[in-house]
Structure 1
Amino acid sequence: MKANSPSVLLIYTGGTIGMIENPDTGALENFDFDHLITYVPELKRFNINFHSFQFDPPIDSSDMDPSFWVDLVKIIDRNYDNYEGFVILHGTDTMSFTASALSFMLENINKPVILTGSQLPIGKLRTDGKENLLTAIEIAAAQYPNGEPIVPEVCVFFENHLMRGNRTIKHSAENFRAFSSFNYPPLATVGIHIKYEYNLIRKVDKNKKLKAHYLYDPHVAIVTLFPGIQRDIVAPVFENEKVKAIVLRTYGSGNAPQRPWFIDLIKRATKRGVIIINITQCAAGSVEMQRYETGIHLLDSGVISGYDSTTECAVTKLMFLLGHGYDYEKVKKLMSSDLAGEISKMEDY
């Protein structure tokens, strides 16, 4: 242990970043993070104490499940007082879902929780994993002179950009810059120096303690509109008695077909107590249902604006709120509220 040095807990859930190539078979295999220094010797140069925790077995990103979000929250909660920051190594495919979920499940977080990963395994010569890992650790340990953390929130760091976790989407399966935050600027950009945008980072109430949440309800569905959408295809979702909430991915600023059968499905679902959240299919921009008649019909049918939420954020926020057993009106109210920096209303611009 380095005296008077910040401590970071590294949590490996799985994913490409933690893989090396078997020299005999050429297959990618997960490596033991207890030997992390062997693969990333640059870590020795940090004036940071760090320990690692590894999911056993590691989880492929596409197999990520809300129960694993609970596991992550438990790990962070149990170790909260022992570390200045946390780095979660995660597969890229569902990283934005996990980052969004943790932003709600770790209420009053006042330490950095940085998710990162890579497009190439850390054992590859051209890997982006080393740079992402090293910088994520440095950000997780970054403090002001008074010892307070610089970035006390859940973030994603990828390819020189630190982004608020619940604002991110994975936009590329090919490029090293795989993630973007279209509706909120980066919290930091990395070049020769790490340039923090202090005014964009969430301010914390130091008098509030971390409140870890473990409840969720996954009875949420996503319906994406497209030209030619048919009633007999989507009706089973709207009429399913087990569905408690629907994320409706609409056109443009929140527009949808005005076909009577579609509006009827929505009205009957909302009357039954199904929460329907309107978010745009566009990568950037916000829902404004009052703007066009096609959006006003949705508003009149009981649909709630998701403002500029990402799909990942809307889904995980609904799971979080439904898991707490809140009634219909409270869920509607909280979905329209900014709980963790996840939405900007038009009056915020």
Structure 2
Amino acid sequence: MTSILIIYTGGTIGMIENPVTGALENFGFDRFQKMVPEVNRMDYCVKAFSFDPPIDSSDMDPKNWIEIAKIIDKYYNDFDGFVVLHGTDTMAYTASALSFLLEDLSKPVIITGSQLPIGQLRTDGKENLLTSIEIAAAKNPDGTPIVPEVCIYFDSRLMRGNRTTKINAEGFNAFRSFNYPSLAHAGINIKYEPRLIMPRDFSRPLKPHYLMDNHVMILTIFPGIRKEFVEHFLSVPNLRGVVLKTFGAGNAPQKPWLIDCLKKLDDQGVVLTNITQCSEGRVEMHRYETGLQLLQAGVINGYDSTPESMLTKLMFLLGHNYDRDTIHKLMNTSLCGEISI
């Protein structure tokens, strides 16, 4: 029988309203299971592992990503697939991080959650959970898993985890993958797109990583940005990486002080990478002079990466203490489908 491990980290899907404060609070996986008896009717062996205590997704950080990776590694040979229940606020960060931490992954890791608690009548949690289990268990005729990668499933869409970002705080369509098509759509049937799914060598063992360095920052460029603010922002001790969120195709104001600041950081060995503020599209720093100046200052092209993916990739590479040239090379390489070169 196909076996699936549910890893319950916390989040809205497993919350209940406090009768005194009205705030949503985690209530534990035991009660969660009682609210989803449909799991017991599925033709799979479904087991569960719960964080104790559960974690609100706003509190997720690199050590929690590593903890999830360790759980998957520990039970990797015992289960055919994994479903991670997670809060929506930082779900895309966790999905991106796991895609880098789980090298040579050859089994599905499906991350899901909900906008409404599982105990509410109109919850989206049941459909998200049940379909995620079905996707994690799905196999090809030869017995290999259909989707052997880290994904987010939400509101009938299966998306590559490191291509996904949260777009909606109220609607059930909370996530989108703007620069890469969905891997599957769930309606009456689940329709997979095999040509879009990462090819895998199933003979290679999982190679988990447990190193992340969070000495990184995101700097969003905006009209009227002030010199003193940027200089203060970028003068933080032990800064090792900066993700620049720039205009359009990777453009920034033609201000000599800004370029001098970036050149100084580049000379100090800080890794600088450029992504667009636009939801859809890619960075092409050669297109305009306003982008070319950044390239000449040592800024790396982030292509069509999401902020979540670029930030976690930078943490991952810096955590391994690769030399500067290696980091630049790997930042310009698609490690697990996170960018289109």
TM range (shorter): over 0.9
Superposition pairs for residues 36-75 of structure 1, below 5 Å?
Answer: 36-75=32-71
Is 2:317–2:327's contact at 8 Å kept on the other side of the alignment? yes
Q: CA deviation at 1:100?
A: 0.2
Q: Secondary structure at the match of 1:156?
A: strand
**Correspondent of 2:214 among 215, 218, 224:** 218
Q: Quick one: distance in 1 between partners of 2:129 and 2:242?
A: 36
2:141 partner amino acid: P
Is 1:37–1:44's contact at 8 Å kept on the other side of the alignment? no
2:263 corresponds to: 267
Is the counterpart of residue 6 in structure 1 residue 2 in structure 2?
Answer: yes
**Correspondent of 1:186 among 171, 182, 189:** 182
Q: Secondary structure at the match of 2:191?
A: strand
Is 2:83–2:111's contact at 8 Å kept on the other side of the alignment? yes
Q: Quick one: distance in 2 between partners of 1:239 and 1:119?
A: 38
Q: CA deviation at 1:239?
A: 2.8
**Correspondent of 1:278 among 274, 281, 296:** 274
Q: CA deviation at 1:206?
A: 1.7
Q: Quick one: distance in 2 between partners of 1:7 and 1:238?
A: 48
2:301 corresponds to: 305
Is the counterpart of residue 28 in structure 1 residue 24 in structure 2?
Answer: yes
Superposition pairs for residues 104-253 of structure 1, below 5 Å?
Answer: 104-253=100-249
Is 1:21–1:123's contact at 8 Å kept on the other side of the alignment? no
For residues 193-223 of structure 1, give each alpha carbon's deviation from its aligned partner in whole angstroms, at most 9, with x where no partner exists: 0000010000001221100000110000100
1:268 partner amino acid: K
Give the direction of change, closer, same or farther, for the CA distance of 1:123–1:93 in structure 2 (3 Å limit).
same
Across the aligned residues of Structure 1 and Structure 2, the Cα RMSD in angstroms comes to 1.2
For residues 282-337 of structure 1, give each alpha carbon's deviation from its aligned partner in whole angstroms, at most 9, with x where no partner exists: 00000000000101101111100000000000000000000001011111110010
2:310 partner amino acid: A
Q: CA deviation at 1:36?
A: 4.0
**Correspondent of 1:324 among 320, 331, 335:** 320
Q: How many residues align?
A: 341
**Paired-residue identity, %:** 61
For residues 25-84 of structure 1, give each alpha carbon's deviation from its aligned partner in whole angstroms, at most 9, with x where no partner exists: 755332332344420121122101111111111111111010001110110000000000
Give the direction of change, closer, same or farther, for the CA distance of 1:265–1:23 in structure 2 (3 Å limit).
closer
2:79 partner amino acid: Y
Q: Quick one: distance in 2 between partners of 1:334 and 1:50?
A: 37
2:304 partner amino acid: D
Q: Quick one: distance in 2 between partners of 1:22 and 1:321?
A: 41
1:31 partner amino acid: F
Is the counterpart of residue 15 in structure 1 residue 15 in structure 2?
Answer: no
Is the counterpart of residue 90 in structure 1 residue 86 in structure 2?
Answer: yes
TM-score, normalised via structure 1 length: 0.95
For residues 83-108 of structure 1, give each alpha carbon's deviation from its aligned partner in whole angstroms, at most 9, with x where no partner exists: 00000000000000000000000000
Give the direction of change, closer, same or farther, for the CA distance of 1:37–1:13 in structure 2 (3 Å limit).
closer
TM-score, normalised via structure 2 length: 0.98
For residues 127-154 of structure 1, give each alpha carbon's deviation from its aligned partner in whole angstroms, at most 9, with x where no partner exists: 0000000000110111112211000000
Is 2:28–2:54's contact at 8 Å kept on the other side of the alignment? no
Q: Quick one: distance in 1 between partners of 2:315 and 2:276?
A: 19
2:125 partner amino acid: G
Which stretch shifts more, 196-205 or 37-46? 37-46
